Amino acid sequence: MALRVCVYCGSRDGARTEYLAAAERIGASIGRRGWHMVYGGGRVGLMGRVADAALAAGAAVTGVIPESLVRREVGHTGLTQLHVVTTMHERKHKMARGCDAFIALPGGIGTFEELFEVWSWRHLGYHDQPIGLLDSAGYFQPLVAMMAHAIESGFVTSDQLDMVRVSADPESLLDVIEQDAQRAIARDDLRRI
């Protein structure tokens, strides 16, 4: 089954080559699986790497980028589709709408904001699509530790943390996401953004 997966990631390369390599690996795997990738529309940083790898492996890739970021994130002109929108809210909604799964790669505050938004929406019952973190070089381990602290402090439940799948291996992460997405799609009560 061809999934539509939304990928969140940085518009920078990051400080470790492992981040770039993992972005390329997951993009290539998305393409080999015949999935459709939706992302932030940039040509630079991890965004550009994951998009180029997915395209090279045969994926359809849709980018969504606000007018104000077309120059800063260097809008990718080689995509299957590039939507230029007015606001960040419109960008995030258009990226998330109709997707079967969400995956976050390393990134900055924008990536965290996108991740936490779809995570909180899932917790609140607005959707039931799977969410994954590609834990390249242990990037998300401090976040996992922070969430464990939030559980201990009584602000988060273990069920909320369990809504997110974490793996350092792109193939393993996509396998789990695919299984979770197929189960969600098979249910009659599938909720999507």
Secondary structure in 3-state letters for 73-121: CCECCCCCEEEEECCHHHHHHHHHCCCCEEEECCCCHHHHHHHHHHHHH
- Residue keyed to tokens 């974490």: 166
Q: Of 129, 153, 131, 127, whose CA–CA distance to 140 is shortest?
A: 131
Handedness of CA 72, 78, 82, 84 (dihedral sign): positive
Which pLDDT tens digit goes with each residue over 26-62?
999 999 999 999 999 999 999 999 999 999 999 999 9
Domains in the chain, please, with CATH? 4-186 (3.40.50.450)
188 — pLDDT class (breaks 50, 70, 90) = low
Q: Of 44, 49, 41, whose CA–CA distance to 18 is shortest?
A: 49
185 — pLDDT class (breaks 50, 70, 90) = confident
Which pLDDT tens digit goes with each residue over 115-158?
999 999 999 999 999 999 999 999 999 999 999 999 999 999 99
Q: What's the average model confidence in pLDDT over 63-89? A: 93
